Structure 1
Amino acid sequence: MATLNRILVSCTVMFVVLNSGKCDAQVPLMLWTSGGISLPSQLPPAAGHIVGQEQLSSYLERALNVGPRNVLLFLQDKMSIEDFTMYGGAFGNKQDSAFPNLEGALMSSPSLLVLPAVSWPASNAVIGQLQDHLETSPLYMDAETLSQLRLNASSPALLVFRLPYGTGADLMSAKEVLSGNDEVIGQVLSIMKSQSVPYTAIYTALRPSREAALISLEAGLGGGRSLLQARGGYRESQRERERERERQHRIKDKAGIYSPVEFKEGDNTCILLWAKNLSVSILRGGRWEGHDLTPSTFGEGVSPKLHGSSCDQTKSKLVLNYEGVLGHRNFKLIFAMSQRHFKVSARRWFTLDAVELEYDGTKATFNGSRNVYAPAEYSYRCESVTSFRWPALFPHSSKDPANQWRVSFQDFQIQGFNVTGGDFSYASDCAGFFTPGIWMGLMTSLLMVLVLTYGLHMIMQLRTMDRFDDPKGPAISVPQTE
């Protein structure tokens, strides 16, 4: 591992010096095979060279043409080569590496390919490239699901394991997340070893994790005069970034764009909620009385009360506590979610099982599991989630108090699992395929086809005369009868 660390350190120095203006545009990629499987050696690119999409595709094609076609793709949200040089024991801290399982797999592999700089658009396309080479669809997995799956060495399989990445002012927070990802890699490799299935493993990311200026200051590799700067310069720049972030938040609040509701379990964010409008209405005396919950939930200086909320690996519950809503002193809006594995799709999904209203000892429950769902690693977003007018939420039963209530969420987005970095993951939108524009195009095309069909039908019905008047012969006389 010392050799690998020296390679990574030298690559870091080369890229900071030669590509300081582009250092935040690349991610590393590592490819290795299981023990006993040897691939033809591939020369890594020269120092300073950035691997593009076509070149990466050629590397993968040469590896998969000879190597195992059971591919394990460990796809991290963010990653840069500096994560390995800083947390992998490259600076004399070998006993406290964040990647012991990864290092062990690389050292024991007979075939190893390390690409220090892959353009992140190319790394984003790696799933599609592998899918084309293997001619199979990707399966999004976790270690628990893999242990129940039986692979066949003769049949290709593309197993994708999504890994988070945490950032923050505390450098150890990123290290802890990377260490947790390394444990996941170790569990997956142990399961594959127990099943005696040969595999090709790839570890890369969707986008870079660190900025060029921050890398230079943290690693002590800054270019030019920055080498003479004191460490305090980094703290000053960090405070400036914090002030800029606060200023941007104030601008967003004034423009009506505010931060989401965030529930943390310890130091980790596990539930996020955002909406342009949250409102509830109750039927009283034949009239609907409404209340807007948005000002009490979102905006600058607003801290909603979240006591009663909870989250774990399978269930999450976000509880928003209010006072004085429609005459009820204590009022709660509850979002209950669950996550489970579905065998048909071979992946995990999360569903919004229920939206509950609690007031004065009464509970009104709306069922949302039939319409509000998304892959477990995604968030869910919808322009409108209501219990009326094309409802997505339905009362639990005909006798449920929910029949006297209406709930409406506009520009609604929620995520109850796999939250990384305090930001929403990729959103699974509720918009259907047949949008109004598509319907208009289909109806117009259908009308034009009908007109064309009618015209062809009329032309085909034309008949010529079977008798004509000859000007050279006697005229045709038509006797007239009275």
Structure 2
Amino acid sequence: MASGSDKLQRVCVALFTVLGVFRCFGVGRCDEQVPLIMWTSEGVSLPRQSPPAAGLIVGQQQLVSYLDKALAIGPQNVLLFLQDKVSNKDMGQSGQKKKLCFAFINRALQSSSSPLVLPAVSWPASHAVIGQLQDQLAVSPLYMDPETLSQLRLNASSPAFLVFRLPYTTGTDLLSPKEILSGNDEVIGQVMSIMKTQSVPYTAIYTGLQPSREAVSLSLEPVLGGGRSLLQSRGGYRDRYRERERQQKVKAGVYAPVEFKEREKTCILLWSKSLSVSILRSGRWEIHDLTSSTFGEGVSPKLHGSSCDQNKARLVLNYENVLGHRNFKLIFAMSQRHYKVSARRWFTMDAVELEYDGTKATFNGSRYIYAPAEYSYRCESVTSFRWPLLVPRSSKDPANQWRVSFEDFQIQGFNVTGRDFSYASDCAGFFSPGIWMGLMTSLLLVLVLAYGLHMIMQLCTMDRFDDPKGPAISVPQTE
């Protein structure tokens, strides 16, 4: 008799194998689907849902149906493990090669009474899974990591939507895809271990934002290389394609954020499309652009003096020869603490400081620049002038002689996971120009309608009417 593990493994192998056969015959392209796996915590029983027929691709409406049935009866604490890229091939690269699924996911599927394996989910459907779960649970997603989760106390009676972002690499980084996926497997195991210690039932989902398209680079080889080529030379075309893509990103202003590490762990991230400072001299503003010295390919800004811990974060960017100052520092000071009113932790940008030649100019940003502690902060424009978000601390502060300007600014000083920003809390106000236009137009129409009703209600009928069958009304004339 085959054990439960062997049966589960055979089912997974059969599903993914049939999917591969259908992809080969053109039913769906291999770069358009991602797998989705759903399970519940041990001891939670749900009615089983039948997976789709072999080779069929699950669309958005069908995926919503699966999620509705699971969440209507199942636990309302949802854990979403969202990998940047994933494919069916990746599912066999973690742990022993004989195992199809991740080691910890494999154990979870064995212990769950109602697991669901969807080998082929359309890319748009998986990309919108966060919005679908948010609508069904009626709660906002919280982007977490195992360390943050260990400090959070969940309640089985109130729903919670926790998102864990998992990285992916195509082999161009220092770590291989197998090592990255193995690390993701350990993160999943840590999360499930923490949930087990809290004794809170949960529903877990593992999927990807988009497929890992290994075949894309091969399909572009004729375009990049032109003419015929041997199979052994396709790697050269792939490298040329990646180099051209990198150059296009640099030209478009897309580059990696500034990253500060403490004990080999990233704790502060900063990105800006444009970064500049200005000083007032002789009635004129002299501008110095710091973008090329801070971001870009091969640029390594000096970060000595930076620090971070659970409650304080300080990012120091060191420059030389800025507006006549030999040693110039741009400092971002942040802090986080718990607020009883909102019952959660928030981080604020306490100050943006300029240090030069023993002088310090300080801009206060805590009034406008803030976000939940597990989020990053993003704003299209952060300046000390023209709708300023940064203001000098006093009228006598040297900051009154300076201006700072950041375009498309994003920063995160706490709860950083990997090398990517967490969900961004945007500075955009609720009332956009379009909303204001709609409100003003509606108000004008209401005023016109009210004026018309007022005019109608003021109409009066005549007290006498001319009767054509009776004598005519005579009006005496007076001279």
Q: State if a TM-score over 0.5 links the two structures.
A: yes
Q: Partner residue of 1:163?
A: 165
Residue 440 of structure 1, CA deviation: 3.0
Q: Partner residue of 2:389?
A: 392
Say whether 1:83 aligns with 2:90: yes
- 1:257 partner letter: G
Change (3 A) 1:348 1:238: farther
Residue 359 of structure 1, CA deviation: 0.4
Change (3 A) 1:58 1:456: closer
- Matching of residues 283-362 of structure 1 within 5 Å: 283-284=280-281, 288-298=285-295, 304-310=301-307, 316-338=313-335, 350-362=347-359
User: Sequence identity of aligned pairs in percent?
Assistant: 69
Change (3 A) 1:72 1:272: closer
**Counterpart among 91, 108, 112 of residue 109 in structure 1:** 112
- Matching of residues 95-244 of structure 1 within 5 Å: 99-131=102-134, 133-134=136-137, 138-144=141-147, 146-147=149-150, 149-153=152-156, 155-167=157-169, 168-170=171-173, 172-212=175-215, 233=233, 235-244=235-244
Q: Partner residue of 1:477?
A: 476
Asked whether the equivalents of residues 134 and 156 of structure 1 are also in contact (C-alpha less than 8 Å), the reply is no
Say whether 1:409 aligns with 2:411: no
Residue 314 of structure 1, CA deviation: 5.9
CA distance in 2: counterparts of 1:344 and 1:123, whole angstroms: 35
Change (3 A) 1:5 1:369: farther
Q: Partner residue of 2:227?
A: none
- 2:22 partner letter: L
**Counterpart among 14, 30, 36 of residue 37 in structure 2:** 30
CA distance in 1: counterparts of 2:276 and 2:295, whole angstroms: 13
CA distance in 2: counterparts of 1:275 and 1:346, whole angstroms: 31
CA distance in 2: counterparts of 1:59 and 1:215, whole angstroms: 35
Asked whether the equivalents of residues 5 and 89 of structure 1 are also in contact (C-alpha less than 8 Å), the reply is no
Change (3 A) 1:83 1:346: farther
- 1:163 partner letter: R
- Output one character per residue of 1:147-201: Cα deviation in whole Å (capped at 9) or x when no partner: 4555454x25233132231424258444444344333333332333233333332
Equivalent position SS for 1:371: coil
Say whether 1:366 aligns with 2:373: no
CA distance in 1: counterparts of 2:198 and 2:297, whole angstroms: 53
Residue 58 of structure 1, CA deviation: 2.8
- 1:460 partner letter: M
Equivalent residues, number: 458
Say whether 1:18 aligns with 2:22: yes
Asked whether the equivalents of residues 165 and 174 of structure 1 are also in contact (C-alpha less than 8 Å), the reply is no
**Counterpart among 258, 265, 268 of residue 262 in structure 1:** 258
CA distance in 1: counterparts of 2:473 and 2:213, whole angstroms: 102
- 2:191 partner letter: V
Say whether 1:429 aligns with 2:435: no
Asked whether the equivalents of residues 258 and 269 of structure 2 are also in contact (C-alpha less than 8 Å), the reply is yes
- Give structure 1 stretches of 5+ with no counterpart: 217-228
Asked whether the equivalents of residues 275 and 413 of structure 1 are also in contact (C-alpha less than 8 Å), the reply is yes
- Output one character per residue of 1:228-268: Cα deviation in whole Å (capped at 9) or x when no partner: x87x556434423332234424xx52xx6352543353987
- 2:35 partner letter: P
Residue 214 of structure 1, CA deviation: 7.6
Equivalent position SS for 2:258: strand
Q: Partner residue of 2:223?
A: none
Residue 392 of structure 1, CA deviation: 0.6
Equivalent position SS for 1:202: strand
Asked whether the equivalents of residues 386 and 407 of structure 1 are also in contact (C-alpha less than 8 Å), the reply is yes
CA distance in 1: counterparts of 2:321 and 2:74, whole angstroms: 66
Residue 474 of structure 1, CA deviation: 6.5
Residue 330 of structure 1, CA deviation: 1.2
Say whether 1:48 aligns with 2:55: yes
The Cα RMSD (Å) is: 3.9
- 1:19 partner letter: R
Deviates more, 1:135-144 or 1:106-115: 135-144
Residue 331 of structure 1, CA deviation: 1.1
Q: Partner residue of 2:226?
A: none
Asked whether the equivalents of residues 84 and 168 of structure 2 are also in contact (C-alpha less than 8 Å), the reply is no
Asked whether the equivalents of residues 259 and 298 of structure 1 are also in contact (C-alpha less than 8 Å), the reply is yes
Residue 325 of structure 1, CA deviation: 2.2
Deviates more, 1:181-190 or 1:265-274: 265-274
Equivalent position SS for 1:241: helix
- Give structure 2 stretches of 5+ with no counterpart: 220-229
- Output one character per residue of 1:268-296: Cα deviation in whole Å (capped at 9) or x when no partner: 76655444432323344555444333454
- Output one character per residue of 1:68-115: Cα deviation in whole Å (capped at 9) or x when no partner: 444333333333232221123225xx7xx9944333323333332222
Equivalent position SS for 2:93: helix
- 1:476 partner letter: V
- 1:438 partner letter: I
Residue 66 of structure 1, CA deviation: 4.3
Asked whether the equivalents of residues 141 and 161 of structure 1 are also in contact (C-alpha less than 8 Å), the reply is yes
CA distance in 2: counterparts of 1:423 and 1:192, whole angstroms: 24
- 1:244 partner letter: R
Residue 360 of structure 1, CA deviation: 0.7
Change (3 A) 1:11 1:351: farther
Q: Partner residue of 2:245?
A: 245
Residue 357 of structure 1, CA deviation: 0.7
